Chains A and B, each alone.
Chain A
Amino acid sequence: MTSQESAENSVMDNKVTRRKRYESLVSDYYHDIFRYACWLTRHTALAEDLTQETFLRAWRAFDSLQSHDSAKAWLFTILRRENARLYEKQRPELDDIDDHEATLPEASHLEPDQQMEAMMLHKAILALEPEYRDPLALQVIGGFSGDEIGAMLDLNNNTVMTRLFRARNKLRSVLDGNRDGDNPGNSLGNKE
């Protein structure tokens, strides 16, 4: 084997390895990336576009990824950056995901009471201010710690934990209010 052939084989091996690592990245994280994009954009079609943009950028910058362990935070950071670049300034007028049943849990997985509570919780999450919804989505979907969320949102850990605490309290108060019949004005509160 000549040195040139050896070098070409090495390049080919690197490309195959790179491709396999990328496939693994897609397979492991594309569901969570899409979910987070849904809550960030509040629209499934925009979320799909954003997911594709995220992985396109990720593939191009793939060599900068140090290890698979840090891949998830890396992808979420890319997604946030792409969302800011593409949609935050001029998001088109579109129906939000609360109009899309596809983004609700499958009814077959839930008891009738839970279905109503899931719908209420879904609306309540969408009604949260982004400063509360965003860290909550990173925690629940991404499984990130307070420190990791703080690094992504440029906040200190205390601020993140306070926002998470308040976000959960706001959501619980919506559910508890309905359960106790304290919120009859809520259009979703007509529990049977």
Chain B
Amino acid sequence: MNEHDFDKLLQQVMKAPSAPEGLQNKLLAIADEEVVTANAARNTAAANDSFWRRALPVAACMALLLGLAWRYQPPQETPLTQEILRHVYAEERFLGSTDHISLAEVNSRMGTVIKARLDSSPATNAMDVRFSKDCWIAKQAAMHLIISGDTGPVSVMMIPSRMVDKETRFSDDRFTGTITPMGNGALVVLGNRQEPVGKYSSMVQNNLHWEY
């Protein structure tokens, strides 16, 4: 094979992977999501700058919103449960991870990402962590662990600034989970429908410390 043919074949092989359908739209959506967030922040700042000029329409909007809120109060955790399930399905491939990650490694990453750590205790030392990653959940950085449960992999997600007002159970055809308020954040534990997720939630609650 001459040099020219070799180069041509090398180009064909190395450039063969083609981006999945829909990836371009996902990448463009990054800008949309961030712009929405930035707009919300800018609008808040603008309202503060000229309070009196905007007071009347703001008051009218507030009255309308309060009226609507009085008539309809959506359950606070519903969107979060959807986000959790969507995230778990999106990262389903990691449920089969066979790594064994030490508590020290987990704490090192947790400290950086969410300013929290797990105490060293018989329960946490016995915990078999298969996966540990910082994730984007509920529009903020969160910690996602996958540990070995009684019947399969158990996802543990710690979201530092997502406040929930009460413990919530949720499930779908495949998974069952629990969301528990912890400090200013939320602890999510999710596993197979047969999994005693409450046991793992208690274990994490008893050993987790936010470092605010």
Contact = CB atoms under 8 A, between A and B. Distances in A.
Contact of A38 (B17, B28, B96): B17
B24 A30 contact: yes
Contact of B101 (A90, A121, A122): A90
B164 to A, nearest CB: 26
Contacts of B14: 35, 39, 125, 136-137, 140-141
Given A23-B28, A59-B30, A121 B9 contact: yes
B99 A45 contact: no
A146 B93 CA distance: 37
B17 A140 contact: no
B1 A172 contact: yes
Kindly state the interface size class of chain B when it binds its partner.
20 to 34
B16 A30 contact: no
Interface string A74-105: 00000000000010001011100100001111
B34 A93 contact: no
A22 B31 contact: yes
B28 A140 contact: no
Contact of B27 (A30, A117, A121): A30
A175 B1 contact: yes
Nearest to A124: B13
A142 to B, nearest CB: 10
Interface string B6-29: 100111111111111001101110
B132 A90 contact: yes
B120 to A, nearest CB: 20
Nearest to B132: A90
Nearest to B146: A92
A92 to B, nearest CB: 4
B160 to A, nearest CB: 19
Contacts of A23: 28, 31
B23 A30 contact: yes
Interface stretch (A49-57, A64-72, A151-159, A183-191): A49-57
A39 B10 CA distance: 13
A44 to B, nearest CB: 7
B13 A118 contact: yes
A34 B19 contact: yes
Contact of B9 (A27, A48, A117): A117
Contacts of A52: 23, 26-27, 30
A35 B17 contact: yes
B58 interface: no
A134 B105 CA distance: 27
Q: Which of A55, A106, A172 has the most chain B CB within a 10 Å cutoff?
A: A55
Contact of A118 (B12, B34, B131, B132): B12
Nearest to B100: A90
A65 B73 CA distance: 45
B202 interface: no
A122 B99 contact: no
Interface in A170-190: 171-172, 175-176, 179
Interface of B: 1, 6, 9-20, 23-24, 26-28, 30-31, 34-35, 93-94, 96-99, 101, 105, 131-133
Q: Which 5 A-B pairs have the closest CB atoms?
A: A38-B17, A34-B19, A92-B97, A103-B17, A105-B16
Given A44-B17, A136-B14, 9 more contacts: A23-B31, A34-B23, A35-B15, A45-B93, A60-B34, A90-B131, A93-B98, A106-B16, A125-B13
